[in-house]
Amino acid sequence: MQTVPFNKLNASIGLLWLFHVSGIIGIIYGNAQWFVQATPINLTLSFILLLLNMGWNRNSLWVIFTCYFVGMLAEILGVYYGFIFGSYSYGATLGPKVFEVPWVIGLNWCILIIITASIARAFFTHFWASICCAVGLMLFLDVLIEPMAPVLDFWTFETGLASLHNYLGWALVALPLQVVYQRYGLPYKNALPFHLYLLQLLFFVILLLKVNSIGIQ
């Protein structure tokens, strides 16, 4: 039997699985409110582990800062003016806010850009095909997140569930960020982005299936 070597990458993947699976089990069968409130910790850990395992070049730092800044700016404009994603507001779950937007949302934009770009680059060598695939992966994940967002007190749209306006806004913001990251950044060449994307899919799919029984107050 071949043993899995213990190294930084495998330890990081193991931690991601541990935190996400624990979150799923805790929300469904344990103290749902406590585990939901730990979401900012989970996002921060995921972001740190991505940074620790990614390849770095001279552009990496400003590319990541650009993804964070643009993501936060889009969310702030969205919350205040409603013309990017629609009219919505953030709840308390995602922690401290900057201009009514939780600061971890910027980390989430960075995470999604990095992992979807890396997955897309693994399948497509053509630049624009990779860009379109990455944006599509982001939108697909958002489709799964949106029904759970108000249940988990992440954010709530004035009209209830997110409309087409939201998804067009996501594509509008994600497209230039994908162009910047894939042009100047250094997409992953290891399995960590695949694991993190899969874990996010599993997390929200399982919660969607259990949404009527988790009983979050």
Residue pLDDT tens, the chain, 217 long: 555 567 888 899 999 999 899 888 888 877 778 888 888 999 999 999 999 888 777 888 899 999 999 999 999 999 998 888 988 999 999 999 999 999 999 999 999 999 999 999 999 989 999 999 999 999 999 999 998 888 888 999 988 888 888 999 999 999 999 999 988 877 667 889 999 999 999 989 888 887 655 445 4
Partners of 155 in beta bridges: 90
Look at residue 39 and tell me if it is in a domain: yes
Residue 91 near residue 153, CB atoms below 8 Å: yes
Which spans in 99-126 are helix H? 104-123
d(CA 140, CA 147): 12
Global pTM reads: 0.90
User: How far, in Å, CA of 8 to CA of 144, rounded?
Assistant: 30
The pLDDT, as a whole number, for residue 5 is: 66
Assigned domain for 2 exists: no
Residue 212 covered by a domain: no
Number of domains in the chain: 1
Report the 10 Å Cβ neighbour count for 158.
Answer: 9
Place of tokens 């699985």: 17
| Residue 23 is assigned to a structural domain of this protein | yes
Nearest Cα residue to 107 out of 179, 20, 47, 194: 47
Cβ neighbours for 100, distance < 8 A, ≥ 6 positions apart: 76, 79, 80, 89, 90
203 inside domain: no
Residue 2 CB coordination number (10 Å): 4
- Look up residue 62 and give its amino acid: W
Query: In this structure, is residue 34 part of a structural domain?
Result: yes
- Contact between 100 and 80 under an 8 Å Cβ cutoff? The reply is yes
Q: Do the Cβ atoms of 197 and 137 come closer than 8 Å? A: yes
Q: Is residue 30 part of a domain?
A: yes
- Domain extent, residue 108, equals 8-198
In a 13 Å sphere around the CA of 141, the CA atoms on its Cβ side amount to: 23
Distance of CA 215 to the CA centre of its chain: 24
Q: Is residue 214 part of a domain?
A: no
**DSSP readout, 142-169?**
HHHHHHHTTTTTSEEETTBS--HHHHHH
